[in-house]
Amino acid sequence: MMGWMKTIMINTAIDRLRRDDFLPEIGLTNEGLWIEDRSQASDQSLLYEDIIKEIKKLPPAYRVVFNMYVIDGFTHQEIANRLNITVGTSKSNLSKARVILQSFIKKSGEAKQCCM
């Protein structure tokens, strides 16, 4: 029962965002989706919060594909069908989002090493 409800809600949200020409709100995630592991070290917790902030800063097209692929588990074909884009565009947007996030993580790691 939950599977079809999730599908209907996702499709409705995507239709609304498409109709509104992908407003900046597209791809924002519910904070509840990101459950933090309290047993991790404080520096890891800080990185976790920073990564979430960086995901929210991604350009809307990259953010929505990243969220659909990584969080919701959609395939590139499903993303392409739902967003009315090509599979190549979906893959490209995911790749670019990952590069941006990897760059942030690398910079964050270098900052920690220089300060130790």
Domains contained in the chain, number: 1
First to last CA, the chain: 51
Q: Read off the CATH number of the domain in which 19 is found.
A: 1.10.10.10
The answer to whether the CB of 47 falls within 8 A of the CB of 83 is no
Distance between CA atoms of 76 and 52, rounded to whole angstroms? 22
At 1-58, the pLDDT tens digits run 566 676 777 767 766 666 666 544 444 444 444 444 555 554 555 567 788 888 889 9
Distance between CA atoms of 19 and 53, rounded to whole angstroms? 26
Query: Residue 76: which pLDDT band, with cuts at 50, 70 and 90?
Result: very high
At 87-112, the pLDDT tens digits run 999 999 999 999 998 888 888 766 65
Domain span including residue 47:
2-115
> What is the pTM for the complete model shown?
0.61
Distance between CA atoms of 8 and 12, rounded to whole angstroms? 6
The single residue listed with the structure tokens 């989706």 is: 33
